[in-house]
Amino acid sequence: MIDRYTRKEMAALWSEDSRLRSWLDVELAVCEVLTLEGIVPEEDMAVIREKADFDIDRIAEIEATVGHDVIAFCTSVAEKVGPASRHIHYGLTSSDVVDTAQALRIVRATDRLLAGIEAMLTVLRKQALAHRQTVMVGRTHGIHAEPYTLGLKFASWYAEAQRNRQRLTAVREEIAVGKISGSVGTYAHLGPQVEAAVMERLGLKAETVSTQVVARDRLANYMGVLGVLASSLDRIATEIRHLQRSDVREVEEPFRAGQKGSSSMPHKRNPIRCENVSGLARVVRSNVQAALENVALWHERDISHSSVERVIVPDSTTLCDFMLSRMTSVLDGLHVYPERMQQNMQITRGLVFSQAVLLALTESGMARDDAFAIVQRNAMRTWAGEGSFRELLAADDAVLQALPDGRFEACFEPEKFLQHVDTIYERTFGGKQ
């Protein structure tokens, strides 16, 4: 991934040095277990521990000749270790090293993403509590619907972020799998006990039934979870973008001192951070398709998946990390304009209370179809600019006869629409909030 969308921790995790270091971790873990098994002499293991290392430039040089990165890696390590290197890669196939090492790095990347979700949850909870009673209009199909609160938006995003945390935690366990089972997964040269001991050292589990590789349905599922996470961030970003439109302007992402929104229009304050998140989410979602294509490998393995994974795994985890950080920053510094929300509530001149009137009329004994016709007729007149919804209804004899004694006025109280917000909060955040 390009530097623009890469945070330094993820850059280090997916660097070439980190990739080769993880390979070395696997090779050393196998040697340690083989020492316990009596296959590698202790004195040779001592030399391996002391000298095992690699030279990235030398690996590139060797690979240019042999055309095989793992062979080039093992050769470079052997040059560092000397004669004791004959024990390195003993009984292994390349995928024993590569797949197991990839699992190690995916787990580490996932832990970073989980930390990012935790940070976002903290901000979402804070904002939800702060704006529990910040009344605004709820919109469906982009059209004003009924009174809502900004806090409920935050609460909804909070609940979704919790589900993303649960999904990512579950798929972390599924992806934390490696193999030391040989060329076709039959343990032809090293027994299952070696694999079990190596995985214990590395904090992984052994693949249930491996071929030359760990089954790719695991990675496809993992990428799918990242796709959902990215889409959740896109959902938040898209909502803020809509609410920041000039004709809405109910919230606005942070605009720092000295920032400029356009090379030609000095007045512009664009939601570029949220647009950025929406765009990057498309990349992560597209990578899910590539991961699905990798599931159906030939026989016990072909290498068609390898080139794909070298791109989609680092890129998707790196982008999700970047998006989480960016979205958390936007949410934490979000500008909120309650006065504008109140102004926008009045744009449709009371139409947001139409269902309350409809239900009040039916509760009075009027047939629903008749009540619907009366309410809709006056609503259409309001849309046409003939007057406010409340004024037109108040002049309708059928409404006045059905709703005497203050019942008509009660239909236009926003509080009635929000009477159960506390229940939603208790269900979302637990206990009294």
Place of tokens 């939603």: 424
Name 96's Cβ contacts closer than 8 Å, sequence gap at least 6: 26, 30, 178, 179, 180, 181, 182
CA distance 358 to 403: 11
Among 141, 267, 299, 420, the active-site one is 141
SS3 readout for 161-226? HHHHHHHHHHHHHHHCEECCCCCCCCCCCCCHHHHHHHHHHHCCEECCCCCCCCCCHHHHHHHHHH
For residues 411 and 361, give the distance between their C-alpha atoms in angstroms, rounded to a whole number.
Answer: 10
CA nearest neighbour of 296 among 235, 191, 357, 220: 220
278 among known catalytic residues = no
* Angle, vertex CA 369, rays to CA 363 and CA 371, nearest 5: 50
Length of the chain: 433
User: Which H/E stretch holds residue 368?
Assistant: helix 368-383
Contacts of 352 (CB under 8 A, 6+ apart): 137, 144, 145, 146, 147, 345
Amino acid at 287: N
Query: How many Å apart are CA 153 and CA 196, to the nearest integer?
Result: 47
Tell which phi-psi region holds residue 365, choosing left (phi > 0), alpha (psi between -120 and 50) or beta: left
Please name which of 17, 16, 23 lies closest in space to residue 71, comparing C-alpha atoms: 23
Closest CA to 327 of 432, 229, 406: 229
- Residue 61, token pair as written in the block: 């040089």
Other CB atoms closer than 10 Å to residue 151's CB: what's the count? 23
First to last CA, the chain: 42
The verdict on whether 262 is a catalytic residue reads: yes
Task: Name the active-site residue from 15, 262, 286, 307.
Answer: 262
Active site residues: 141, 262
